[in-house]
Amino acid sequence: MQNPYLPYPIRIDDIIIESEDKNLKTFKFVFLNPDDERKFSYKSGQFAELSVTGKGEIPIGIASSPTEKGFVKFTVNKVGLVSSYLHAMKIGDIMGIRGPLGNCFPWERLEGKNVVIIGGGFAFTTLRSSIIYMLDPSNRSKFRDIHVIYGARTPGMLLYRDELIEWEKRDDINMHITVDGTDDPNWKYNIGFVPTITEKKAPPAGKDSFAIVCGPPIMIKFTQPVLDNLGYSHDKIILSLENRMKCGIGMCGRCNIGKEFVCKDGPVFTLEQLNKTPKEY
Amino acid sequence: MKYIKIDKKKWASGIDALTKSYRLYGPVKEEAFHNFKELEKGMLPDLTCLNTRLSPKSLIYPQSEALLEYSLDGSQKDHHIMKEIDKDYSPRAVIGIRPCDAKAFVLVGKNFDTPEYKDPYWLLSYEATTLVGQACESPCSTCFCTTAGCGPYHEEGLDILLVDGDDHYLAKALSEKGEKLLSAAGWDESVQAAEAESQIESKKQAAEKKIASIVHTNKLRDIDTTKLYDAPFWEDVSFSCINCGTCTYVCPTCWCFDIQDENRGKSGMRMRNWDSCMFPLFTVHGSGHNPRGTKLHRVRQRFMHKLKYYVDKYDSGIQCVGCGRCVRLCPVNIDIRRICDLMNSFNASEDACAV
Amino acid sequence: MLNYIDRIKEISARLLKDCSVEMVIGFRKGSVPMMNEPYFAKTAEDVERLVWDSNCGINLANYLTDRKEKIGIIAKGCDSRNIVTHIIENKIKREQLVIIGVPCKGMIDKHKISSMFDGEIREVSEDENNIVVRGHDFKEVLNKKDVLQQNCALCIHRNPVIHDELVADPVEEQQDVDRYADVREVEALAPAEKWNYFGDLLSACVRCYACRNACPLCYCPTCFVDESQPQWVGKSQDPIDVRTFHFLRAFHCAGRCTDCGACERACPVGINMRVFTKKLEKDCLELFEWEAGMSLDERPPLDTYKPGDPGDFIK
């Protein structure tokens, strides 16, 4: 019987400090056994349990896209016991990974559709995975218009800044980068909260429009009415939830909202599904 | 289906024979109450026990279990890489488990044995165990098994059902594992199926009539989840709760656990320990946000999970077998029977319901 | 004592009617023998459900912590001392409370009574002096005095030390009670024997924390056993971790514990952990002449420094 608690061994290959407050770091991991990388075949939207030997595990969204081969990337916020220890680790250190876990964004349903991606703060990680996946030459033609609204508190808190700038230059994706506020005179993008920018820049929904929203609960709370006004139906608004997790495979019972496990039946849910569940997330 | 008559004079020698091929567990009296313990050579299970204080779930699913081990010593070859631990899954048998506790394993199995993931620790342990059940002749006043999906003679989850016949036991083998155990014990006096069945049936009817406590669950499936979630009675129900873990720990159908790494010097183990949704920090996020930050949230979660979410998710009844342990042991006398009836009779269009 | 309930109901109804309080915390009848369930009454109908008998051992002060309402609280002697401690420790304000004091001659010990019978106890009833225990095929009459909780048998503060209402005349306090006989027995053991004694005492512990949660003194938002950065105590049943939890919890209650017995009453596996808290209570009495919760005007000894405090442990 395959043991779903046993992590694949990985090595830290690169560490990038993403944010100006140094609390967000992107880790690039390489599998010690190439066979494990093959077993770890994932889709955008899924997450993995990063196992720090001797400390514990944390569920983190996969930031790399399945189209990027040879490594996996995760952006981790320094919050508690395991993440703090991980932040202090060095290139070459050995740890573990379990996954891919959870369900992914509904890629079959999204084919042939317009997609609006709305992200806030460091919840943008699986959205990076999704954007790279969609922009890949073998995939771009499967989707129609792509809009991305991504905001953070300040320019220094935005993730993947170099990639954001590159995407902004492309004409097959519409980027609307925003910050809550800045006094940087060279800031050439938007200033305003994500819900406000969404109201201004997001295209109204046709019958073929989906919205993917990832962000802190407060951002989701204020973005939802905007999407309602723009005509997005609740079964076409896709959300990715967070909850405290341990096993990540629907066994330990901790992350349930109603009868769904966020780790196994989620973390991706439509708003229509969430309307029917208790708001315990 | 095999029916064997076990002369009580041959009981002890049979148990003794079993020790050659099984590790045996059974109810043992410790001071004021019974618990399941490993039977040492010569020990017999105490079948006068009404039911044990703690459930036998710890025999398949120990309270603390090491999952994986690792070395933190940089000079070791596989340092920091998690390794599986050799475990002993040699055959074992539980003698004298009640039908409610055996059915509980079937309910818990739905969580640990899914198409996508299988928990090897629970499954291998369960598969290695033969459950020899003892039918209940005199249920307690807190037993409500007949309306909780099983009963004093319920067979689901058992490998053998033992029915007391004064000078003998009538053993009904319900599975291959059960038949194997009966041979290993040397209990081989066959009985005619028809005769045995009619004996069992009449005793079953008599025992079921003695169950005085009932719950109503017929409407739980169809009630709207969010309306039940917002019902007004939760405040009253949850007031007395002290959020300890007693109910979850004694309950045979509760399974939540925590995973932690415990280090000692340069090596360590990834352990799992029972955890409880009643504990305040069960769902706390790293950011400090706690979706179930109040006592009301947690108490409501427990009963919604057992009596509603499980019903919706698996379509096989409530996640409770009516053993009555939580009712007897709750330090503040929160009674699941009362709450089940409150939930079942909840009518969303009325403002108040009986308390 | 059995007619106290009429006065309790009368007082509660009056307090709710004239809005001196928004709720009255008391007990309603339990669904199994020897148990009552803590309950809040907000209406006249609720008040009718209140009960009072020899099964009211739970410490209701546990339900006051950090509440914001005006509350009427039914309090025995030990409960009232915990209310004093709560007020001193800023867990509730004096102005919020209307304390309905109940003089108490002791609550019966359900663990003790259950262990006296082999079969299931179906019903327990009482009159002023006796308990009648009925099972499927037995009936026995016991003298209440013989089956009291141990802390009640040794109680020297049966009357509430603080109250706004009193439901009956004070009862006579017990005199010449040796509260620490069992503590002295353990103190006399050699260290290795003590270690084994503690190990046996705690061997059944399942870390359910019923003892901690039933205790009015344990109100830390994050208990030391739940801290993760750093983690002080493991979460398994490792004997060292179990001892650490019980010993440290007792120390956290030192100088504050009123020996209400809620911890032992709550324990599902029958551990007599009061031996730890009583040892510390004895020490506080001998070192600082201190009894917890007797007065609103005195701070506990572990809270204050007095020049005359014993210092002979400093070598």
**Sequence-ordered list of residues with C-beta below 8 angstroms from that of C22, at least 6 positions apart, any chain:** C42, C69, C70, C71
Total domains in chain C come to 1
Residues of A in contact with C228 (CB under 8 A): 80-81
pTM score, whole prediction: 0.93
Range of the domain at C228: 178-305
Q: Return residue ranges of chain A for CATH 3.40.50.80.
A: 107-240
- Please tell me the distance in Å from C230's CA to the nearest CA on chain A: 8
Distance in angstroms (rounded) separating the CA atoms of residues B216 and B220: 9
Closest CB from A242, A247, A280 relative to B292: A280
Question: With an 8 Å Cβ cutoff, is A61 touching chain B?
Answer: no
Are C24 and C41 spatial neighbours (Cβ–Cβ below 8 Å)?
A: yes
Q: Which of residues 295-334 of B touch A (CB under 8 A)?
A: 297, 301, 304-305, 309-310, 312-313
Q: What is the pLDDT of residue A121?
A: 87
Chain-centroid distance of CA C252 in Å reads 16
Residues of C in contact with B138 (CB under 8 A): 136
Length of chain A: 281
CB contact under 8 A, C222 and B281: yes
Closest CB from C31, C213, C226 relative to B244: C213
Distance in angstroms (rounded) separating the CA atoms of residues C141 and C313: 51
Task: Report whether pLDDT(C84) > 90.
Answer: yes
CB contact under 8 A, B260 and C235: yes
Q: Which of residues 94-113 of B touch A (CB under 8 A)?
A: 111-112
CB contact under 8 A, A80 and B70: no
Architecture of domain A8-101: Beta Barrel (2.40)
Length of chain C: 315
Instruction: Spell out the CATH class of A107-240.
Output: alpha beta
Does residue C208 form part of some domain? yes
Inter-chain contacts counted by CB atoms under 8 A, chains B and C: 103
Closest residue, chain A, to B285 (C-alpha): A244
From first to last of its 355 residues, what are the pLDDT tens digits of chain B?
789 999 999 999 999 999 999 999 999 998 888 999 999 988 999 999 889 999 999 999 999 999 999 999 999 999 999 999 999 999 999 999 999 999 999 999 999 999 999 999 999 999 999 999 999 998 999 999 999 999 999 999 999 999 999 899 999 999 999 999 999 999 999 999 999 999 999 999 999 999 999 999 999 999 999 999 999 999 999 999 999 999 999 999 999 999 999 999 999 999 999 999 999 999 999 888 899 999 999 999 999 999 999 999 999 899 999 999 999 999 999 999 999 999 999 987 765 555 4
**Partners for A (CB, 8 Å, 3+ pairs)?**
B, C
Q: What residue ranges do the domains of chain B occupy?
A: 2-54+88-210, 225-351
Residues of A in contact with B72 (CB under 8 A): 53-54
Q: Which of residues 65-124 of A touch B (CB under 8 A)?
A: 77, 79-80, 83, 93-96
User: Bridge-partner residues for A24, per DSSP?
Assistant: A77
CB contact under 8 A, B63 and C236: yes
CB contact under 8 A, C265 and B249: no
ipTM of the complex: 0.94
Distance in angstroms (rounded) separating the CA atoms of residues A177 and A17: 20
- Please tell me the distance in Å from B122's CA to the nearest CA on chain A: 11
Closest residue, chain B, to C237 (C-alpha): B64
Task: Report whether pLDDT(A66) > 80.
Answer: yes
pLDDT tens profile A183-196: 888 888 999 999 99
Q: DSSP states of chain C as a string?
A: -TTHHHHHHHHHHHHHHTTS-SEEEEEEE-SSTT-EEEEEE-SHHHHHTB--STT--S-GGGGTTT--S-EEEEE-HHHHHHHHHHHHTTSS-GGGEEEEE---S--B-HHHHHHT-SS-EEEEEE-SSEEEEEESS-EEEEEGGGGB-HHHHT-S--S-SS-SEESSPPPPPP-S--TTHHHHHHHTS-HHHHHHHHHHHHTT-----HHHHH-TT---SS-GGG--TT--S-SS--HHHHHHHHHHHHHHTTTT-----HHHHH-TT---THHHHHHHHHHHHHHH---TTS-TT---GGG---TTS--TT--
Residues of A in contact with C235 (CB under 8 A): none
Question: With an 8 Å Cβ cutoff, is A228 touching chain B?
Answer: no
